[in-house]
């Protein structure tokens, strides 16, 4: 019986699949493989866990977990899921597998054929990438333009390339963009696992960036430390830039496996488009850094796009930062104290219950600068730790001066706010101990206050709070009701006092809902052996409600505004009020 035309075509197709110099894999939408040719087996076998080629996504989970996510997120019935996605596979050596025969870089294109089938095209891109690196090295022409650790262009190299694009000027369909990114946790990783592990992370990051970029007009460079720059040429529109940025973040987001440890890094990215760029290469890179800081401050995993208005804001921030450094060393900062009174329906208020220390800044030109204008900047610029230590030392000194001067009429407790930066210092407990010893103040006379969002943070914060408790100081939970914790989890926090936020107290006399919330907080705190303070009391009616509900202490403008030390002494001498 003679073969039909269809039989001949089928045999031709089989012969093509068998001899094709590229890997071809057909699978269902869940990755279960129906068909693969010999080349795909040759390329995938060295990187497949235990040599199992039954599921495409399982094969790539160790080196490109984003492939499974991209396929699942592709909603159209057919089309290109990803095209020429480069995947470095030399990191498989970290797992202890034999990777001697594995390609250094695979390129995979994934197509959705219909609602139930996928086709993957797999290519060994090692030689192509090697050639690209050689061409790049020749173009940079000199070891002084190459970062020795990662093999990427360094700061000088990327500045020269960017300057060439700037000098070229705008041309139709040939725009450029600059992306600057860094790792939030790199310093912590270096400190915890050592600089050698940090270096290996940077090398692996460089490999991922290289593999995720196209060959034409897309260059990654190590800018310094954990900062990396990507320069994109030939960008027709902003959407193209954002597409590349998303691809890069997807490529570098999976866990890094180093010495058996899985390290998770959060990346921040700033982007400058050509139409928003001005000045020379150094200026453009500076603007990319400004955008990256905006992404960091917002805590966003999404790239921040540079806006020229950011440059002016950054300049103002720099001026205030410089002035604040002078203020810290030039006696421009001072401390005021807001009374915290004891509340008792029968006996009236107790003026000597406690005071809270609050910092102020007397600027030589601007006058007294409100805390809202410089506390946030101190946090951003790393000065909040020194600022907090100054307040603590001054408050303890003044407290002991009042004890000597006023005796029984002096405040019995000093409350001071804590910052994240102070709690992050491994030796900060020693600083507290030294300040207390220098002033002669007992630990139980000091109340350190943290916001509930900070108190509910990571183990490092919890450890510092436990150390403070062991030292003998009192801990208070500030602004309760505005953060991450709740009444049901209050027992998990190592605090002695709960300060009810002013947003509840200001409506205590007008809203039954807020009264119920305040009463519930007082009841739960009391059952846990904790005391309560109502913040932001501004009217007699608010004071009457929180007193009636059983709140232990109150604080707010109704009793007194924050006062300098001398004025506080006069306020404490006033006759008792009811």
CA distance 86 to 567: 69
Gap between the Cα atoms of 576 and 383, Å rounded: 40
Beta-sheet pairing, 256-258 with 105-112 = unpaired
Q: Is the pLDDT of residue 484 over 60?
A: no
pLDDT in tens, 360-369: 999 888 888 8
DSSP state of 370: P
pLDDT of residue 490: 78
pLDDT of residue 196: 86
- In this predicted structure, the answer to whether residue 2 has a pLDDT above a threshold of 60 is no
Span of 12-21, 105-114, 152-161, 562-571 with lowest mean pLDDT: 12-21
- Is residue 485 within 8 A of residue 456, CB to CB? The reply is yes
Q: At what angle do helices 308-329 and 281-298 cross, to 10 degrees?
A: 70
Q: What does DSSP say about strands 267-273 and 304-305: parallel, antiparallel, or unpaired?
A: parallel
> 272-303 pLDDT, tens per residue?
998 888 888 999 999 888 888 888 777 667 88
Non-local (6+) Cβ contacts of 541 within 8 A are 508, 509
Say what the pLDDT of residue 566 is.
94
Q: What is the DSSP string of 538-550?
A: -SHHHHHHHHHTT
Supply the pLDDT for residue 97: 43
Q: What share of the chain in percent tops pLDDT 90?
A: 38
Q: What angle do CA 12, 14, 20 make, to 5 degrees?
A: 95
Question: 127-131, 133-137, 462-466: which has the minimum mean pLDDT?
Answer: 133-137
User: For 375, phi and psi rounded to 5 degrees?
Assistant: -65, -45
Q: Convert the pLDDT of each residue in 547-577 to its tens digit.
A: 999 999 999 999 999 999 999 999 998 876 5
Q: Confidence band (pLDDT; 50, 70, 90) for 457?
A: low
pLDDT in tens, 237-248: 888 888 888 888
Whole-Å CA distances, 356 to 102, 364, 557, 568:
65, 26, 13, 11
- pLDDT > 70? residue 199: yes
Q: To which CATH superfamily is domain 127-306 assigned?
A: Reverse transcriptase/Diguanylate cyclase domain (3.30.70.270)
pLDDT per position as a tens digit, 109-123:
999 999 999 999 999
Q: Tell me, what's the pLDDT at 94?
A: 41
Report which of 424, 396, 266 is spatially closest to residue 337, judged by C-alpha positions.
Answer: 396
Q: Which fold has domain 318-569?
A: TIM Barrel (3.20.20)
Q: How many CB atoms lie within 10 A of CB 79?
A: 10
Q: Cα torsion at 242, 244, 248, 251 (round to 10°)?
A: 120
Domain 5-124: assigned CATH number: 3.30.450.20
Q: For the chain, which residues make up each domain, given as ranges?
A: 5-124, 127-306, 318-569
pLDDT of amino acid 482: 62
pTM metric for this prediction: 0.56
More confident residue, 52 or 299: 52
> How do residues 534-550 score in pLDDT, each as one tens digit?
999 999 999 999 999 99
pLDDT for 1: 44
């Amino acid at each position: 019986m003679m073969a039909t035309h269809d039989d001949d075509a089928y045999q031709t197709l089989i012969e093509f699949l068998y001899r094709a110099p590229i890997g071809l894999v057909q699978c269902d939408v869940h990755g279960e493989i129906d068909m693969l040719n010999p080349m795909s087996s040759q390329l995938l076998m060295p990187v497949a866990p235990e040599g199992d080629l039954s599921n495409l996504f399982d094969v790539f989970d160790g080196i490109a977990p984003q492939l499974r996510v991209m396929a699942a997120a592709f909603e159209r019935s057919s089309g290109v899921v990803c095209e020429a996605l480069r995947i470095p596979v030399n990191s498989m050596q970290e797992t202890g597998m034999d990777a001697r025969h594995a390609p250094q870089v695979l390129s995979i294109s994934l197509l959705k054929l219909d609602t139930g089938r996928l086709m993957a095209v797999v290519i060994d891109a090692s030689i192509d990438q090697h050639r690209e690196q050689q061409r790049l090295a020749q173009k940079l022409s000199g070891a002084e333009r190459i970062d020795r650790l990662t093999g990427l262009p360094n700061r000088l190299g990327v500045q020269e390339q960017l300057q060439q694009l700037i000098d070229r000027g705008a041309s139709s369909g040939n725009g450029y963009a600059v992306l600057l990114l860094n790792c939030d946790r790199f310093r912590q990783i270096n400190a915890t696992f050592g600089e050698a592990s940090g270096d290996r992370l940077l090398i692996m990051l460089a490999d991922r960036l290289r593999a995720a970029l196209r060959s034409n007009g897309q260059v990654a460079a190590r800018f310094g430390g954990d900062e990396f720059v990507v320069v994109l040429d030939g960008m027709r529109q902003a959407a193209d830039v954002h597409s590349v940025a998303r691809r890069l973040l997807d490529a570098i987001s999976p866990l890094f496996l180093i010495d058996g440890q899985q390290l998770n890094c959060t990346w921040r990215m700033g982007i400058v488009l050509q139409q928003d760029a001005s000045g020379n290469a150094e200026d453009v890179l500076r603007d990319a850094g400004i955008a990256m800081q905006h992404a960091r401050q917002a805590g966003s995993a999404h790239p921040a796009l540079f806006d020229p208005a950011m440059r002016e804001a950054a300049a103002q921030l720099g001026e205030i930062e410089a002035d604040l450094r002078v203020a810290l060393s030039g006696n421009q900062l001072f401390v005021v104290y807001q009374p915290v009174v004891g509340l008792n329906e029968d006996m009236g208020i107790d003026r000597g219950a406690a005071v809270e220390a609050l910092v102020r800044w007397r600027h030589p030109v601007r006058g007294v600068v409100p805390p809202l204008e410089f506390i946030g900047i101190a946090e951003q610029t790393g000065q909040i730790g020194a600022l907090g230590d100054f307040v603590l030392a001054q408050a303890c000194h003044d407290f002991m001066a009042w004890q000597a001067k006023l005796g029984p009429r002096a405040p019995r407790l000093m409350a001071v706010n804590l910052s994240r930066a102070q709690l992050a210092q491994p030796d900060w407990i020693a600083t507290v101990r030294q300040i207390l010893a220098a002033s002669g103040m007992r630990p139980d006379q000091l109340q350190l206050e943290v916001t509930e969002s900070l108190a509910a943070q990571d183990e490092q914060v919890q450890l510092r709070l436990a150390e403070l408790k062991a030292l003998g100081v009192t801990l208070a939970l500030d602004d309760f009701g505005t953060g991450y914790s709740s009444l049901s989890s209050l027992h998990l926090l190592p605090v002695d006092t709960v300060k009810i936020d002013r947003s509840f107290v200001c409506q205590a006399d007008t809203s039954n809902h807020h009264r119920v919330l305040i009463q519930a907080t007082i009841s739960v705190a009391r059952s846990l052996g904790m005391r309560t303070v109502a913040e932001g009391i501004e009217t007699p009616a608010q004071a009457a409600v929180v007193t009636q509900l059983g709140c232990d202490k109150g604080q707010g403008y109704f009793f007194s505004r924050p006062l300098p030390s001398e004025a506080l002494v006069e306020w404490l001498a006033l006759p008792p009020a009811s």
